[in-house]
Copies of this chain bind each other. A is one copy, B any other.
């Protein structure tokens, strides 16, 4: 398990050490420049509604790729990949309950499973950092704070629930730059959905996130709120489907696609 993280510089390299079982940790900071993705795997009968849910809510659920039933490879994101073995760690859910957290899922694979690869905010955070903007939770080495909002997603079949957002504070001029930069990445949540007045979206206490860690917001800063990839997971758990597999938090699928290619201009 003593893989040298600094040696994992491409998607292929990360997936290889996952596949061999040598690496089972979080993927944040690995293979810089390569897009990472959230994973949701469902039975075909549930996949139709879940896809519709994602299409109706593109800001929290930006679909990077959907596989054909039974095919464990997302061909556009990484031709040589195998979703059954190439993530560090998975979560297996039955009727909305977490039943197993394995490092590979070959023993669960079935011909009717459809895999959803959903854009991840690591990509736009890396664009913010490259632009010289200070990203508070990265500087503090903690998880981004996330909140359930009073905004409901558009539902589809059995999938419904509140929009979950992540929060990053910026000084005003940096807030404007952050809007500009993340607007270029609609495939990874895009522009913020709100800034300035948390109570307007049902967030009553910034210091009490529903997920992740609390971080300070200074008096000369504005809180900016982005639609968050935790939304589809929360919605999925709430729908209590008979069978589902997701990545384990922070243990993402690392693709061969360069983050820069996800920018619209």
Contact = CB atoms under 8 A, between A and B. Distances in A.
A197 interface: yes
A196 B180 CA distance: 17
B176 A192 contact: yes
A195 to B, nearest CB: 5
Contacts of A265: 265
A139 interface: no
Nearest to A194: B172
Contacts of A191: 176, 180
A194 B175 CA distance: 9
A245 to B, nearest CB: 35
A44 to B, nearest CB: 36
Nearest to A198: B172
Contacts of A194: 172-173, 176
Interface in A193-249: 193-197, 200, 220, 222
Q: Specify how many copies of this chain sit in the oligomer.
A: 2
Contacts of A193: 173, 176
A216 to B, nearest CB: 17
A180 B200 CA distance: 21
A183 interface: yes
Given A222-B195, A265-B265, A200 B172 contact: yes
A8 interface: no
Contacts of A30: none
A193 B195 CA distance: 16
A17 interface: no
Interface in A50-107: none
A179 interface: yes
A220 B176 CA distance: 19
Contacts of A220: 197, 200
Contacts of A179: 176, 179-180, 183
Contacts of A183: 179-180, 183
A196 B173 contact: no
Interface string A169-182: 00011011001100
Given A172-B200, A175-B196, A183-B183, 20 more contacts: A172-B194, A172-B196, A172-B197, A173-B193, A173-B194, A175-B195, A176-B191, A176-B192, A176-B193, A176-B194, A179-B179, A179-B180, A180-B180, A180-B183, A180-B191, A196-B196, A196-B222, A197-B220, A200-B220, A265-B265
